[in-house]
Structure formats: structure tokens, C-alpha cells
Chains A and B, each alone.
Chain A
Amino acid sequence: MNLHEHQAKTLFKSYDLPTSNFFVANTVEEAKELAKKLNVSKWVVKAQVHAGGRGKAGGVEVVQSLDDVEIFAKKWLGKNLVTYQTDKNGQPVNSILIEEYTEILSELYLGLVVDRSTRSIVVMVSPEGGVNIEEVAENNPEKIFKASVKIEEEASDDDAKRLAQGLNLNSEQTKQFIDIFKNLSKLFIEKDLALVEINPLVIDDKNKLKCLDGKVSVDSNALFRHEELMTLRDTSQEEQRELEASKWDLNYVSLEGEIGCMVNGAGLAMGTMDIIKLAGGFPANFLDVGGGVNEKSVSEAFKIILSDQKVKAILINIFGGIVKCDVVAEGIISAVKEVGVDIPVIVRLKGNNANIAQEILTESDLNIIFESDLSIAAKKAVELSK
């Protein structure tokens, strides 16, 4: 689960990490009022969306009058911000962050992530902040410094000092960095985070470190023990079909193609997408109905796939294990009867009760094409989608 920048910064503050003074506004009036309350003459105003690349897209500005704060708020509140990380519709801007302007001497990078290959939490810093860190890793790997943090031990001063050296910090800043390093590690572990990025971490004109941006992602599997974080979910930032699917315990991801897919199991769902691609088509979605599939969830899955106007054919691929194929077949039939389908539906059922399922589908008068060979089923779906 991703957090907004202002939510991340509120978390940072509660762990004594240095941030600017800021407010969050949901209306134009509020924006003006809160900007005034900051009692400064120069502000940074930032559109709050779950996507990077806001600056280049016009979603971040430095303004020097309350009128300009108002203009920015009017420009973005209630609108969508399109960045290189969003789709073509962009993400809705429902709030803006207003903070005091910071004079920047240099921009650094600080990030924490669970590293899968070393099975540890890795802290990563670079003196090359403010830019895409993946590019730095690619082009100047020597400018990235790493340390790992153990969950059941306090983060070490020595590691922090080593990273501070890599960042070329002076002795005062190094002291400050040790605190940041320890507090951020503590935050990461205590709140079950999956990712933190502070890009940039800056040195300001008082020669102090400050977290100027904040990207935080929480491990969704751990939300059960963090009630305080659960309320921070902003469903307006989620793709609407994906959101609807999540209500029915369906794993759905919207894609760009024309063939709707319904599959049981995440791996087989990806495999089905791959086979569609090999057959010359492109999937409109990833959809794993899971092991607990029943008539109702099949029907809901169907409706979600059909709500996507791009879909020209549907490929259903079920390998019955725990899932009984005849139950799925009944689900398909009732869904088709209920919502009506005027595009081709190709069904491949294998495993548990596949024969019974085939009989049920053949006997129904519905326009369903049964194909037991997965490659051929995909080919048919691609042909019929054209």
C-alpha cells in the first residue's frame, strides 16, 4: 500500500526525522489560509498523487505570493495529474501539500528496501540525489553506498558513519545522519514498510539535512497489525476495476490489450497472458480468481472484464485442483445469462471434473467455445478478437 507524500512526512516527523513545516489542503480556501499560517514569504506547493515525476508534469511549484498559492490550488484540486509514471488519464489530485521553501545546497538520496537476494533490509544512499536512482545505479554504481539492517538489533553507528562518508558529510551532518539512519530503520521495522525513498534528502542553507520528499510503501500483508496505517489507504489513487476486483478477493491488473483473461492461480494467469502474446495478441488484464472461486466470484470477474471497452474476446483458463471445473462452468453460464455477452468466450478447463464441465457447457445454448488445448485456445481467442 502506497502513502501520499504528506502521510509519509507525518510519519517521518513522528520518528524525529527533519522535514519542513507543512500543511495539507483539500480546498482552495484552505490552501490560502494554511499558506498564510506558515508565516513565510516563499512556499513549495505539491500536488498529492501516488506517482513520481510530479515536478516535470507541473505538479510541484515554488510560489512567492498567496495569490500564486491560490492559482496553483485552483489549477490542480479536483483535476488529474498525468506524469510519466501514470496512465494517460493520470491520478486525481484531491489534496495539495504546502510547505515552507527550502534553500538547497545539495541533493542526496536515501532509500530503504527489503533486499530479496541477501534477505535483509538494505539502506542505500547516494550523493547523486534528486534524480532517478536506477539511472545512478546503472551508470555510476560507485556512487551508491549500502548497509544492511538487522530486524532484531539496533542499527549500527559504524554503518551510518560509513554511509555518511559516502555522502561527503561534515562532522555535524554526520551526527545528524546517524540519527536519521537509526530512526528511519526503526520506522521501517516498526511499521512493516516495504520501501522508503527520500529523494532528495537535502543539505539546506543552514548546512543541515532535511527530508524534502518522501515515498513510503507499506507491506499490505502486515496491515492487520497497524490499524493506524490502514486508514491511510486512498482508494481514489487505485485503478477502479482493480479496486472493484479487490472487494471480491480477485487479483486483477488492468493492461492495454484486447483479450480479457480469467484464470485460477497467479502463475497460470501470467502464463496465459504469455501464451496470448505468443499467439500474436495482447491481454487486456491479469486476473487470478484464486482458489476460493465460486459462482458469484466468477460472475463478478466476468462483469469486471466486460466493463473494459477494449476487450474483444475472453479467454477462460482454469486448472481445477481444489477448484472444481463444473462449478466454474456453472458460474460462467450464470454470468453469461445474467450480464449478457456479445463477444466470443473461449474456455479451457482442465483437471478436477473437466469432463462434466465440458458437458455442461456443450449442452448450454450459449456462445461458448470449448478448447482443451491451451495453445489452441489462445490462438482462437486472438483470431476471434480481430
Chain B
Amino acid sequence: MSILIGNDTIAICQGFTGSQATLHCKQAIEYGTNLVGGVTPGKAGERHLDRPVFGDVKSAVEKTKANTSIIFVPAKFCKDSINEALDAGIKLIIVITEGIPTLDMLILKIKADELGSMIIGPNCPGLITPGVCKLGIMPADIHKKGKVGIVSRSGTLTYEAVDQTSQIGLGQSSCVGIGGDPIPGSSFIDILKLFELDDQTEGIVMVGEIGGTAEEEAAEFIKSDISKPVVAYIAGVSAPAGKRMGHAGAIISGGKGTANEKFLALENAGVFTVKSPALIGKTISDLLNFKK
């Protein structure tokens, strides 16, 4: 098993013929992902990467029975693209694009909840279930099929966690980048829930960062609902207040959202925290071996 994407995934790509989409869809197909086509307005009827191009999501879904969409559309058109995917009944929408206005995400999040669809991202590296399905921009070769579930607000820190858990022999069940924006489509809690239910996942790595209170909320949830061991790292202990650290959501404002507060909340919830991202792999490995 795995979470969110796997053998049942039938994926399309919105913004299919763009250069980034082309690069990453090509890799996804080579990886074995069931990517059945894509959408680019005005290019209906053409073929791209040996797959059909549709003019809109609705006709793509009708023809392909797609249940998942990965979006590479520029930020200013993303609201329309996500709306289109939601209206067409897509249940899992992965948004790679960075720079979507916050108020757009507020509206889209409410709509997705009402429709029972899940948005991953925006501003995220996407999803991978090693050995089975890849929908994202992560380098495939560092991944290894295995037992650790990874959920993270940062792309490159996810790669660190992946690389370390592969090197140490544990591998990953699924890896989910929830993205660095203030209003993500899915929260840590949404993903933790799925890892808890997934048989393949034996331990969980959670990578957070400064800004907001998503990690504190996750800590409460872990305390009450997660039985599997969790290792967490929070980036930005050394970040100053009031400065946005690259990600739109990575900012300590009004004295709230510091890494130390988050570490404390997680430790109080029984989570094993590491102060250096270089220690993620070793710590989860020690925990899983100790459990045996």
C-alpha cells in the first residue's frame, strides 16, 4: 500500500505542453506513472509525449477517467485551473506552481472541502510513491521503496530526508510535499491521518518550518491519533522575526510561528525532534530498530 497515489492513479497534467510540465511528465511516464494525457486550452486534439491533449479538464476526464491532476499552470491562471479540476470531479489535485494569491487559495480550499477533493500544494514538489508512481518535480533516483512516510513543507529538505532514509536502508512508503504557502490545500494533519492508516508506513518523518501554527496543530493531533513513531525537524531556528524566508508562509509575525515554539509543542506530544536536518535518517532508523 501507499498513500494518495499508487496503482489506482489515473493522472492528467494541466499545462501539459509547457516546458516544465513536459520535462516532469516525461520523467513521470518513464517512472511508470499512469499519466494518460493532459490539458492545454487551444490545443485539443494534438498529441504530446505520445498522449492526447484536451482543451479542458471535463473532456479529459470523460475520455480518460482521470482521478488525479498535476498542475504546472502559471500562478495567475491557477485559480481557474484548480476550479476547473474541482468542477470536473478530480479528487486529487497536485499544484506545483509557486506564487498563487493567498485569497485565491482561501476560496479554493473551502470549495475543495465541500466537494470532498484534496489539493496538495501549491508551491510544492508534489508526490511520489517510490517504485510505483511519481507526480512531482523530485529527483526519482534518490528514492527507494520502503517503510517511512515523509510529509514536508519544503522541497529540498524532503530530498534530504529521502536521501538519508534511502542510504540507511529504510526507504519510503510515500513522500508528500504540502508546500510552503500560508494557505496550503492540505495540512500536516490531513497527511498524517493517511500515514497512520497505511500498512506500508512504519514510521513518519515530518519536516516543518517557521510561520503559522500548522506544526502545533499537528502536534496535538499526533498526541491523540498517531500511534506510529514520528521524527520531526523544523527549519528556521536561526531565522529572524518579521522576515520572509523564501517561502510565502515562512515568516515569524507578531512573535508567533517560531521554530522553538514548534519544537516544544512537538516534543510535548511525544514526537522525536532533531535540531539538525542531517540527523533525520539516523533518528528514524534508531526508532524503528528499537521498536523491533
Q: Does A215 contact B (CB under 8 A)?
A: no
Complex interface: chain B residues within 8 A of A276 (CB): 238
Q: Does B168 contact A (CB under 8 A)?
A: no
Contact A274 B237 (CB under 8 A): yes
Contact B183 A351 (CB under 8 A): no
If A219-B103, A267-B247 touch, whether A116 touches B156 (CB-CB below 8 Å) is no
Q: Does A44 contact B (CB under 8 A)?
A: no
Q: Does B248 contact A (CB under 8 A)?
A: yes
Binds B, one of A34-42, A59-67, A278-286, A361-369: A278-286
Chain A interface residue count, CB cutoff 8 Å, equals 53
- Residue of chain A at shortest CB distance from B255: A134
Contact B239 A273 (CB under 8 A): yes
User: How distant is the Cα of A319 from the Cα of B106 in the complex, in angstroms?
Assistant: 32
Selected contact of A116 from candidates B152, B153, B249, B277, CB within 8 Å: B249
Selected contact of A270 from candidates B139, B163, B213, B235, CB within 8 Å: B235
Complex interface: chain A residues within 8 A of B163 (CB): 319, 350-351
Interchain nearest-CB distance for A371 vs B (Å): 12
Selected contact of B213 from candidates A85, A117, A133, A291, CB within 8 Å: A117
Selected contact of B106 from candidates A114, A221, A268, A286, CB within 8 Å: A114
If A267-B157, A351-B159 touch, whether A275 touches B278 (CB-CB below 8 Å) is yes
User: How distant is the Cα of A120 from the Cα of B214 in the complex, in angstroms?
Assistant: 15
User: How distant is the Cα of A151 from the Cα of B105 in the complex, in angstroms?
Assistant: 11
Contact B238 A283 (CB under 8 A): yes
Contact A286 B76 (CB under 8 A): no
Contact B154 A121 (CB under 8 A): no
Contact A222 B238 (CB under 8 A): no
User: How distant is the Cα of A219 from the Cα of B109 in the complex, in angstroms?
Assistant: 18
**Chain A residues touching B, majority SS:** mixed
Q: Does B137 contact A (CB under 8 A)?
A: yes
Contact A265 B155 (CB under 8 A): yes
Selected contact of B154 from candidates A134, A253, A267, A350, CB within 8 Å: A267
Interchain nearest-CB distance for A173 vs B (Å): 27
Complex interface: chain B residues within 8 A of A166 (CB): none
If A265-B157, A286-B246 touch, whether A321 touches B102 (CB-CB below 8 Å) is no
User: How distant is the Cα of A121 from the Cα of B155 in the complex, in angstroms?
Assistant: 28
Interface residues of A in 258-294 (CB under 8 A from B): 263-271, 273-278, 282-283, 286, 288, 291
Contact A192 B109 (CB under 8 A): no
Between B106, B137, B183, the greatest number of chain A beta carbons within 10 A of the residue's beta carbon is seen for B106
Selected contact of B107 from candidates A117, A152, A268, A375, CB within 8 Å: A152
Complex interface: chain A residues within 8 A of B229 (CB): none
If A225-B76, A321-B137 touch, whether A267 touches B209 (CB-CB below 8 Å) is yes
User: How distant is the Cα of A124 from the Cα of B174 in the complex, in angstroms?
Assistant: 40
Contact A271 B235 (CB under 8 A): yes
Contact B153 A267 (CB under 8 A): yes
Q: Does B138 contact A (CB under 8 A)?
A: yes
User: How distant is the Cα of A277 from the Cα of B260 in the complex, in angstroms?
Assistant: 14
Q: B190-227 interface mask toward A, CB cutoff 8 Å, 1 = contact, 0 = none?
A: 00000000000000000101111110010000000000
- Residue of chain A at shortest CB distance from B257: A116
Complex interface: chain A residues within 8 A of B275 (CB): 274, 278
If A119-B106, A152-B107 touch, whether A277 touches B212 (CB-CB below 8 Å) is no
Contact B106 A321 (CB under 8 A): no
Contact B182 A266 (CB under 8 A): no
Interchain nearest-CB distance for B76 vs A (Å): 5
Contact B236 A270 (CB under 8 A): yes
Complex interface: chain A residues within 8 A of B248 (CB): 221
Q: Does A327 contact B (CB under 8 A)?
A: no
Interface residues of B in 140-176 (CB under 8 A from A): 142, 152-160, 163
User: How distant is the Cα of A283 from the Cα of B239 in the complex, in angstroms?
Assistant: 9
Q: Does A144 contact B (CB under 8 A)?
A: no
User: How distant is the Cα of A189 from the Cα of B243 in the complex, in angstroms?
Assistant: 24
Selected contact of B254 from candidates A134, A278, A350, CB within 8 Å: A134
Selected contact of A114 from candidates B76, B139, B183, CB within 8 Å: B183
- Residue of chain B at shortest CB distance from A276: B238
Complex interface: chain A residues within 8 A of B106 (CB): 114, 119-121, 151
Q: B253-292 interface mask toward A, CB cutoff 8 Å, 1 = contact, 0 = none?
A: 0110001000000000000000111100000000000000
- Would you list 7 pairs from A and B whose C-beta atoms are within 8 A, ordered by A residue? A119-B183, A253-B245, A265-B156, A267-B158, A270-B154, A271-B235, A319-B160
Closest 5 CB pairs of A and B: A267-B154, A266-B246, A265-B156, A222-B101, A268-B156
Known: A267-B247, A286-B243, A291-B137. 16 other contacts (CB 8 A): A116-B211, A116-B213, A117-B213, A134-B254, A151-B106, A152-B107, A192-B103, A219-B102, A251-B246, A255-B240, A263-B156, A267-B156, A274-B235, A275-B277, A319-B156, A352-B139
